[in-house]
Amino acid sequence: MTTPVVQVDAVIVGSGAAGSAFAARLAAGGKKVLILEAGPARGNADLVSSAIWARRLKGSGPPWLEGGENPVGHVFNAGFGVGGGALHHYGVWPRLHPEDFQLRSLHDRGLDWPFGYEELRPWYDRVQGEAGIAGDAGQERWRPPGEAYPLPPVPVFPQGAVIQRGFEKRGLHTAPLPLAVATRPFNGRAPCIWDGWCDAGCPIGALANPLSVDLPRATAHGAELRAGATVRRVLTEASGGRASGVEYVDGDGEARTVLADVVVLAAFAVQNPRLLLASATPKHPAGLANSSGLVGQFLMSHPGALIYGLFDERTDCHLGASGGQLLSQDGYAKDTHARSGAFGSYQWMIAQAVKPNDLLGIATTRPDLFGAALDPFMQTAARQFATMTGLVEDLPVADNRLRLDPRVDAFGVPLARVTHTTHPATKKLWTALLEEGRAIFEAAGAREVWTGPQAAMHIMGGTIMGREASSSVCNGYGQTHDIPNLVIAGPGLFPTSGGVNPTFTVHALAARSAGYLLENWNSIIR
């Protein structure tokens, strides 16, 4: 029996933030779209607000092997199943700043993007109107130009007010944290109830994730989503000049083929280069889209500076969103801590809602306490604990990269081996933030302050965009230089990381690229 071959206009690998955004726009543009997701199917009704459930949403697909001094992180950063990593993301959606796009030109460090902020600005504006971002653009004195947020800001609970006091006493500014969370009913979505369970998904749909925004739009316009579909290679025509589709294995273990005019890889910053390298052919012996030799290189991961404290007053630290309540970008200038040899931008995300244990848990901040010593600490901390996170720009380094390992997964695809060591100037910036964070908490009146180890917060790079085929993998629309109908989506495109969370930019890039594909479809598929 011959397995039938499916023919579509576009096949999209991955149903996370980038894949669902592409699917919604291409399907709305009249294209026949098929989304392939390796993980299980999920809907809002399947989500359960518990720490054990939250673990199921993390990267439980084929493992990747990590090396270097500062691994990029696996469990926290990846997702597995419909919605991908964005299903459990925290909805912190600031914009990159104009200088982030010109790091090489302005500072003679890192790389440049193939376009500037102003080219992405209208797409930021469009996406925030669709997804709904809560905030106060007027209070964000550092915010690049753009339209005001469509939703009122998130509330500030006692934890946020306590920490805010420390910023004020040190002459620093705060603003409501821009969150892609509904603070009032929005486009049929219920408002947040501020119970701090973003990490387990959002069953009421208040969080702007693929299940609540783009996947319903995509399927309403005819896109098909297949879960349990593991893509193991991208197919190319005999000439090697065009992608012709993908080969995947379905939930029954059957190998299947999808032929498509356009192939969009949106399987995250580690899986995309892994697939490109694993799809090598005689025409592309080093892997697809790899004439530059840069596939897998310049992987980045924001180091997180974790600050914790106990206060005399009640903080109600269980209330709010997982992402936090307030933002400070007073230190966003690249040279804020230049005297210490540090370089790069950073921001403070203030007053995350916390749980007793697990990720963003109180107990895990004090691994030195156990047994009888842990109980009195937890009794106090449950009422008087506070925390904030500094997000640090990770400078791009070519040797921070992904390679294929000789070992293979259950589908015969080589495993990814990822090596990452933080740039010395980035490490010094992270160290400076620990000192700054301590000082802020002390100014706020904390009776005890402690910090955590360097945390890996996001993964970017690996399929970077640029103007020249010799120095990048993709152009500014995510088209690979070598194969124009093979498109990359997601944070893997970033040539620099900036000092902000990447998901808003991922959506803006996807909207821009999908619009370009629709306008130029006939010339791209020839």
pLDDT tens track for 141-165: 999 999 999 999 999 999 999 999 9
pLDDT tens-digit map of 238-273? 888 999 999 999 999 999 999 999 999 999 899 999
Residue 57 has pLDDT above 90, yes or no: no
Q: Residue 1's pLDDT band (boundaries 50, 70, 90)?
A: very low
pLDDT tens-digit map of 315-335? 999 999 999 999 999 999 999
Residue 63 has pLDDT above 90, yes or no: no
pLDDT tens-digit map of 354-412? 999 988 899 999 999 999 999 999 999 999 999 999 999 999 999 999 999 999 999 99
Query: In sequence order, what are the residues at sequence separation of 6 or more whose Cβ sits closer than 8 angstroms to the Cβ of residue 238?
Result: none
pLDDT tens-digit map of 71-128? 887 656 778 899 999 998 999 999 999 999 999 999 999 999 999 999 999 999 999 9
Question: Collapsing DSSP states into helix, strand and coil, what is residue 207?
Answer: strand
* Structure token pair of residue 312: 């005399």
CB neighbours (10 Å) of residue 313? 12
Tell me, rounded to whole angstroms, the distance of Cα 213 from its chain centroid: 16
- Contact between 334 and 345 under an 8 Å Cβ cutoff? The reply is yes
| pLDDT at 80 (0 to 100) | 87
- What span, in angstroms and rounded, lies between the C-alpha atoms of 102 and 395? 13
Q: Residue 303: name the closest of 452, 104, 166 by CA.
A: 452
Residue 484 has pLDDT above 50, yes or no: yes
Mean pLDDT within 209-221: 97
* Structure token pair of residue 200: 């387990």
| pLDDT at 75 (0 to 100) | 58
Residue 49 has pLDDT above 80, yes or no: yes
pTM (two decimals)? 0.97
Evaluated on CA atoms 377, 379, 381, 384, the torsion sign reads negative
- What span, in angstroms and rounded, lies between the C-alpha atoms of 230 and 299? 23
Please, what is the average pLDDT of the chain? Answer: 95
Q: Residue 198: name the closest of 47, 21, 15 by CA.
A: 47
Give the percent of the chain with pLDDT over 70: 98
Residue indicated by tokens 């006939």: 522
Give the percent of the chain with pLDDT over 90: 89
Amino acid identity of residue 294, one-letter, is L
Residue 297 has pLDDT above 70, yes or no: yes
- Contact between 36 and 231 under an 8 Å Cβ cutoff? The reply is yes
Amino acid identity of residue 251, one-letter, is G
- What span, in angstroms and rounded, lies between the C-alpha atoms of 63 and 24? 29
Tell me, rounded to whole angstroms, the distance of Cα 257 from its chain centroid: 29
Strand segments, DSSP code E, in 266-328 are 303-310, 326-328
Amino acid identity of residue 457, one-letter, is M
